[in-house]
Amino acid sequence: MTEPRGASGLPEPIEAFVGPDRAIKAVDAARQTIETMDRDNAWYQEPAHVFRPGAGS
């Protein structure tokens, strides 16, 4: 189940704290970043770091 989201799309408790203006500004900033990133990856392109069994705890 997903956590409750505010009108901006940010998690509700955080949006309640920062207010709708800051929340919308943050969502707009994220959108602009995503629009700038080249995500035209080939279907077989692996992530930069993949799961390595045994790594970490």
Partner 1 sequence: MSALEWLDAGEAARLIAARHLSPVEYTRALLERIQRHDGELDSFIELRPEAALDAARAAEDAVMSGAALGPLHGVPYALKDIIDVAGWPTTAHSRLLDGAVARRDSEVAARLGAAGGILLGKLATHEFALGGPSFDLPWPPARNPWDRTRSPGGSSSGSGAAVAAGFVPVALGSDTGGSVRNPASMNGLFGMKATYGRVSRRGVVPLSFSLDHVGPLTRSVADNALALSVIAGHDPADPGSSAEPVPGFLPEQPADLAGVRIGVIRHFHLRDLAADAEMTAAFEAGVDLLATLGAEIREIEVRPLAEYAACNRVILLCEACAVHEKWMKERPGDYGHLLLERLLPGLAFSGVDYVQATRTRARLAGEFNSLFDDIDAVVAINNMEPAFPIEDPEVAEYHYSRHARTPFNITGNPALAVPTGFSGLGLPLSMQVVTRLFDEALAYRIAAAHEAAAGWTARHPDLGGTGT
| Binding residue (CB under 8 A) for partner 1 from 1, 2, 47, 53 | 47
Integer distance in angstroms from the first to the last C-alpha of the chain? 27
Give the shortest CB-1-to-partner 1 separation in angstroms.
15
Could you say whether residue 13 binds partner 1 (CB under 8 A)?
Answer: yes
Q: Which of residues 20-39 bind partner 1 (CB under 8 A)?
A: 22-23, 25-27, 29-31, 33-34, 36-39
Question: Counting contacts by CB under 8 A, is residue 45 touching partner 1?
Answer: yes
